């Protein structure tokens, strides 16, 4: 993949991928997320992400929101288990304006007490809204089942109690401990001269003080498979089953990505969708997901259906998992699975914002970004025997947990 990297003396890195367009996309990725919080006080990383948009040393809330919207640009942010990301899309002449805003938000936010109290109310509403969406809530609660007694299992939004307890000092302490300048990437995807881009980057981010505070993330807790059922005021059952999986550096990561895509990934032709939805008409939504993290991973299958159809759906899913564990893919099946996955990866490059964010994360995680050709080589190197081994390890019935939300 054709890209360029420039590192400032303070450790912040610029990642640039050129593209001939009048539209540019930029992001700033910070290697700090909800897993870096205290176990009993979840939601702080997400709370900080919200407050970054409220007031800085130079701008009030309106000035922050209007800075890019006045030139037709789009600005947004999100928090994950391991990252905080701010991103923007804009016309190419507005690059400096966008990067200057990034720098102001991340390094000059003031976190006023009155703004904190107002934003707590916003997040409490967000938590209440989330709890009204069982298909989202059951997936998040399932992660709590998989990563018990660890911050990886905490809800990114936090709880009403934890959010209300946050103090200003908590924010500054979290930032000091986790916003390491050597683990911050500024990604730019657009039609720019790299030398000019380096000068802009130096002008805007060169004065940021270096923060190289050492951080050691808490080791992943021991996994104990569990099954749990909760009654909720809902009309359908929502169920998730799965377990721990491979981390981002594991040799089997690519194989599990292929296997997951075959089983219940994007598209209507996945095995689970064909069997459970198309053939038996049970679930409107059924999908599988594999998310690798820096030192662990999670594999899960989600479906929602009428309560009386839950057991049948589980039997059908169990049968599909058994097929993957007991019978290796034939040459044609394997080739089709790879080609499907490769095609989806290639199409994903059309999402320019998603691409630069993915590249920035790759640079953080691996110190490099694979080209499409290198990615395809890794996919094509996956063997049928490797997929069989992976299926027997990740889909072992003894290692599968299950969480179900059922109607009261």
- Geometric angle at alpha carbon 15, from 4 and 195, rounded to 5°: 55
The pairing of strands 401-407 and 4-7 is unpaired
Per-residue model confidence as pLDDT tens digits over 363-389: 999 999 999 999 999 999 999 999 999
3-state secondary structure of 110: coil
pLDDT, the chain, mean: 96
pTM: 0.94
Let me know if the fold of 4-205 is the same as that of 227-407. yes
CA torsion 127-129-135-137 (nearest 10°) is 20
Record the tokens describing residue 146, joined without a space. 């998989």
Fold assignment, 227-407: Cytochrome Bc1 Complex; Chain A, domain 1 (3.30.830)
Contact 111, 176 (CB under 8 A): no
Query: Over 90: is that where the pLDDT of 304 sits?
Result: yes
Contact 43, 157 (CB under 8 A): yes
3-state secondary structure of 207: coil
Per-residue model confidence as pLDDT tens digits over 13-39: 999 999 999 999 999 999 999 999 999
What is the C-alpha separation between 127 and 144, in angstroms, rounded? 16
List residues bridging with 184 in a β-sheet. 30
What is the C-alpha separation between 200 and 278, in angstroms, rounded? 54
Per-residue model confidence as pLDDT tens digits over 104-124: 999 999 999 999 999 999 999
* Distance set, CA 67 to CA 30, 53, 99, 115, 324 (Å): 22, 11, 11, 19, 52
The DSSP code for 395 is T
Query: Over 70: is that where the pLDDT of 1 sits?
Result: no
Average pLDDT over residues 288-311: 96
Q: Which of 221, 356, 378 is nearest to 295 (CA)?
A: 221
What is the C-alpha separation between 235 and 135, in angstroms, rounded? 12
Domain ranges of the chain: 4-205, 227-407
Per-residue model confidence as pLDDT tens digits over 57-92: 999 999 999 999 999 999 999 999 999 999 999 999
In the CATH scheme, what is the code of domain 4-205? 3.30.830.10
* 280 confidence band (pLDDT: 50, 70, 90): very high
Contact 307, 407 (CB under 8 A): yes
Per-residue model confidence as pLDDT tens digits over 192-234: 999 999 999 999 999 999 999 888 899 998 999 999 999 999 9
What is the C-alpha separation between 230 and 224, in angstroms, rounded? 19
What is the C-alpha separation between 165 and 160, in angstroms, rounded? 9
Predicted local confidence at residue 132, as pLDDT: 85
Record the tokens describing residue 193, joined without a space. 């001269």
């Amino acid at each position: 993949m054709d890209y360029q990297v420039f590192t400032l003396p303070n450790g912040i890195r610029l990642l640039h991928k050129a593209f001939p367009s009048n539209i540019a996309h930029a992001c700033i990725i910070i290697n700090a997320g909800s897993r870096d919080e205290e176990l009993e006080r979840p939601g702080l990383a997400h709370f900080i992400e919200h407050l970054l948009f409220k007031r800085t040393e130079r701008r009030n809330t309106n000035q922050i929101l209007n800075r890019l919207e006045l030139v037709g640009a789009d600005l947004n942010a999100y928090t994950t288990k391991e990252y905080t990301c701010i991103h923007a899309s804009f016309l190419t002449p507005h690059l400096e304006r966008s990067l200057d805003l990034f720098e102001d938000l991340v390094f000059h936010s003031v976190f006023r007490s009155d703004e904190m109290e107002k934003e707590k109310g916003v997040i409490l509403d967000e938590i209440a809204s989330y709890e009204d969406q069982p298909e989202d809530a059951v997936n998040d609660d399932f992660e709590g089942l998989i990563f018990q007694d660890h911050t990886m299992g905490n809800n990114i939004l936090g709880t009403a109690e934890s959010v209300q307890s946050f103090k200003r000092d908590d924010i500054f302490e979290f930032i000091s401990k986790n916003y390491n300048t050597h683990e911050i990437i500024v990604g730019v995807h657009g039609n720019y001269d790299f030398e000019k881009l380096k000068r802009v980057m130096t002008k805007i981010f060169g004065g940021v003080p270096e923060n190289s505070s050492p951080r050691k993330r808490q080791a992943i807790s021991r996994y104990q498979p569990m099954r749990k059922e909760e009654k909720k005021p809902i009309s359908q059952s929502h169920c998730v089953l799965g377990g721990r999986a491979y981390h981002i550096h594991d040799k089997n990561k690519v194989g599990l990505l292929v296997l997951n895509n075959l089983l219940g990934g994007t598209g209507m032709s996945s095995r689970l969708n064909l069997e459970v939805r198309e053939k038996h008409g049970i679930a409107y939504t059924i999908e599988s997901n594999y998310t690798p993290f820096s030192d662990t991973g999670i594999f899960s299958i989600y479906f929602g259906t009428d309560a009386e159809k839950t057991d049948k759906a589980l039997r059908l899913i169990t049968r599909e998992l058994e097929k993957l564990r007991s019978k290796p893919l034939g040459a044609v099946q394997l080739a089709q699975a790879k080609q499907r996955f490769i095609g989806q990866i290639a199409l994903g490059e059309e999402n320019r914002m998603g691409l630069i964010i993915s590249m920035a994360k790759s640079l953080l995680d691996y110190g490099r970004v694979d080209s499409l050709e290198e990615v395809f080589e890794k996919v094509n190197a996956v063997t049928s025997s490797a997929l069989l081994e992976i299926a027997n390890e990740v889909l072992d019935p003894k290692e599968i947990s299950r969480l179900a939300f059922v109607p009261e």
